[in-house]
Amino acid sequence: MTANMLPFVKMHGIGNDFVIIGPREAIQRRDWASIARTTGDRHFGIGHDGLLLVEQLASLDALADFRMRMFNPDGSESEMCGNGIRCFAKYVYDSGLSRKKQLRIATGAGVQHVELHVAGDSVDSVTVDMGIPEFSPTKIPVDLPGDYIVNVPLTIGGQTFAISCVSMGNPHAVAFIDDVQTVPLEQIGPLVERHPWFPHRVNFEIVQRHSRRELTMRVWERGAGITLACGSGACAVMAVAHRQGKVDDIVTIHLPGGDLTLEWNGGDGVQMTGEAAYVFSGSWLPDPSREHD
């Protein structure tokens, strides 16, 4: 293998796909933002919604077992990713880095607790405690007055949305509409993401309510664009819907890539359960002419 080659594993959580870099490579001093941009290109690279670095923590007394860093395809670093952390946990267990069925994973949004559901000798699905939703505008952040941002009209791209905001360790703007398929998300999404209300940009979820136990959502992810799924986005939708009395404590959310089960009682952390799967593994050889695109 050429010395510059970077081994990786490609995984997905209900269609939200990631390139995972193991701990031996993750400790190297590399321009990970640039690598995320080049590997994320679906024509000239590997293609992914996020680059995940697996970092082993030195101390057995550490607050967490591992650290997860995530870089978006545009090179920006994200605080947290719900689908990504499920893939991360499956990678850690299946590769033998840990055989624990409960892990503490440090992220930019704090330490996340995950429970691994094992079938045979590999992880089948993962439940993640995604933490307590934060509705304070200053902590999301969103530059609007008030204690909570609930159904605030936002007219953008020729349409008006009733926006509710929440943080799941990263910022989210949620809008309930009659039919999620009618919104040109590829046009509206980037306008909402970079709207002046959101100083750190924002993830944008549009949601269709079917019943108190069933929702459908589409998402524009900050730094990634339209994706087939977003775990933190699904948790944000659950938090907003529950707070507004639209749903029960357990909900199935349908996303383009598959379904997630969300559980929240309005007080504790939001629990998210979903699958994680391998796609392929390989080694990536950087192209010096594109490495800083």
Q: Where are the domains of the chain?
A: 6-129+276-284, 152-269
Residue 2 has what pLDDT? Answer: 56
Residue 60 has what pLDDT? Answer: 53
Name the band, by pLDDT with cuts 50, 70 and 90, for residue 62: confident
For 196-219, what is the mean pLDDT?
Answer: 98
Residue 4 has what pLDDT? Answer: 78
Q: Mind listing the pLDDT tens digit for each residue in 221-239?
A: 999 999 999 999 999 999 9
What share of residues in the chain are helix, strand, coil (percent, to 5)? Answer: 15, 40, 40
Is 165 noted as a catalytic residue in this protein? Answer: no
* Residue 159 in this model has a pLDDT that exceeds 80: yes
Residue 61 has what pLDDT? Answer: 57
112-121: list long-range contacts, CB under 8 Å, 24+ apart: 112/80, 112/85, 114/85, 114/86, 114/89, 116/89, 116/90, 118/93, 121/94
Residue 3 has what pLDDT? Answer: 59
**What is the chain's mean pLDDT, rounded?**
94
Quick one: CATH architecture of 6-129+276-284? Roll (3.10)
**CA–CA–CA angle 253, 259, 260 (5° rounding):** 65
Locate 57 and state its tokens. Answer: 């923590």
Closest among 169, 170, 168, 162 to 209, alpha carbons compared: 162
Catalytic hit among 81, 87, 165, 235: 81
Place of tokens 């990631």: 18
Residue 288 has what pLDDT? Answer: 61
Residue 58 has what pLDDT? Answer: 73
Residue 200 has what pLDDT? Answer: 96
Locate 91 and state its tokens. Answer: 């990678």
Residue 174 has what pLDDT? Answer: 98
CB-based contact 71:36 (threshold 8 Å): yes
Q: What's the CA gap between 92 and 55, in Å, rounded?
A: 10
> pLDDT over 90 for what percent of the chain?
89
Residue 46 has what pLDDT? Answer: 96
Tell the CATH topology of 152-269: Diaminopimelate Epimerase; Chain A, domain 1 (3.10.310)
Name the band, by pLDDT with cuts 50, 70 and 90, for residue 73: very high
Is 81 noted as a catalytic residue in this protein? Answer: yes
Residue 5 has what pLDDT? Answer: 86
pLDDT: which is higher, 206 or 30? 206
* Residue 1 in this model has a pLDDT that exceeds 70: no
Name the band, by pLDDT with cuts 50, 70 and 90, for residue 285: confident
